Structure 1
């Protein structure tokens, strides 16, 4: 089973850069999308249902903003759109597809990099989301939460960690929250399980020459319950083509 997670930074932009041609060659079972930056009226048939896939989406109310999606080969038994929290659901940040043996979530956790107000929203989301993650963990189901979490967990997860200790995405409170998710709640960072010491990134700033110099951050994750995390056989970050400022995270599971 192959699962891909990718922040597209605009589904229409990614489409124009060859994303769907690439996707057709990936033999993926589930693809989680973040930052659609589109509403239903903007979506073409190809974006809604690429050949061989069912498509599900949670659009933001604000035009050109946020939004998440899931493509899947197998028809889900149930699809949950939103967390049931109006403030966050208006931004299109959560979508869950339940299959017979497992569930997959596409998540776009808020960024706080634009200022204190949005950092406050990010912290509020984290506070509200942790109980939901506890419920998922306690449900007995196998769950994979894919997405842009907008947090680099450890120093190995970003190039310039010394210069970012006071910046959103690497704040002590954010990192401690992820540690709590792993060590207390019991979820697993699947990429890091497969590659314990690999320095690899999924996002690069458009400023300077971050991409060229590989000055990146690993902020896109597949975070899973232990049993299904233990079935991961390979994990890679695709960098041969650029569809957005993020790179696709590809994980294969038995």
Structure 2
């Protein structure tokens, strides 16, 4: 299978905004205006369409973006995912087929020619609490959905790319302080086993495939203390692709802010260039 021909590579960016209105005031709108990506996946938008900043909507329109948004209807002002594309999607699907998460603003996918791109905001748990139980229920429902999506895409001769905040660090190389986080959500043994099984099933961690022997590159740093300055981070924002697309990945970069005061989110964009 080959993606439709194009003069250049397919560039996809993904970032958790930690709130689109706050991020916009701090620099996200300027970043997006300068982006040359073909697709941008957003997480933790925390807004309904009517709540989006006017200057952002004007810029999106002027730059020719198509915005597809899946807000959290069950708890307005929380979660929410979106996908920006340069062309109108052929189809849009929301949710992972589990009723509990149908309107939770956790998952959105769009079909482009030869490619399905999804934006994911996987729940953030807290070990030993109902939040972790919710996260585990999401994982239990998400695994078969991803398997079904992979099989359906293969039958349709298309690729799949799931970008977003997975809220799981897979290996010790994916967080700086792994020794102190073995009992914390995001690095629990069963979470690591879950995402490892996903990669063993046929999906590829694109950034790790391109950078197999490095710590990180980290994508999230706590606002507390000097985590950002010391690069004490976690790599929890992934591009997860079917093998055909993963093999076309040519470069990957975490667009880390040049300084703490230049951050517009506690996450950084992860941008990958794929050969078409």
TM range (shorter): over 0.9
Q: State yes or no: 1:247 paired with 2:247.
A: no
Q: 2:146 aligns with which of 124, 133, 157?
A: 133
TM-score by length of 2: 0.88
Q: State yes or no: 1:150 paired with 2:163.
A: no
SS of equivalent to 1:12? helix
Distance 1:34 1:47 in 2: 16
Q: 2:119 aligns with which of 106, 115, 120?
A: 106
Q: State yes or no: 1:71 paired with 2:71.
A: no
CA contact (8 A) 2:96 2:102 kept: yes
* Structure 1, unpaired ranges of 5+: none
CA contact (8 A) 2:69 2:83 kept: yes
Match of 2:245 in 1: 228
- 1:111-152 CA-to-partner distances (Å, cap 9, x unmatched) read 003861010000000000000100111121200000000000
- Counterparts in 2 of 1:3-18, with a 5 A limit? 3-18=12-27
CA contact (8 A) 2:81 2:108 kept: yes
- Post-superposition offset of 1:22: 1.4
Match of 2:205 in 1: 189
Deviates more, 1:82-91 or 1:208-217: 82-91
SS of equivalent to 1:192? helix
Q: 1:168 aligns with which of 182, 185, 207?
A: 185
Deviates more, 1:106-115 or 1:40-49: 40-49
TM-score by length of 1: 0.96
CA contact (8 A) 2:127 2:184 kept: no
1:45 and 1:84, CA in 2 relative to 1: closer, same or farther beyond 3 A?
A: farther
- Post-superposition offset of 1:45: 4.4
- In angstroms, what is the RMSD of aligned CA positions? 1.3
SS of equivalent to 2:180? helix
Distance 1:211 1:113 in 2: 22
Deviates more, 1:223-232 or 1:197-206: 197-206
- Post-superposition offset of 1:81: 1.9
Give the number of equivalent residue pairs. Answer: 253
Q: State yes or no: 1:52 paired with 2:49.
A: no
Match of 2:6 in 1: none
Distance 1:212 1:247 in 2: 14
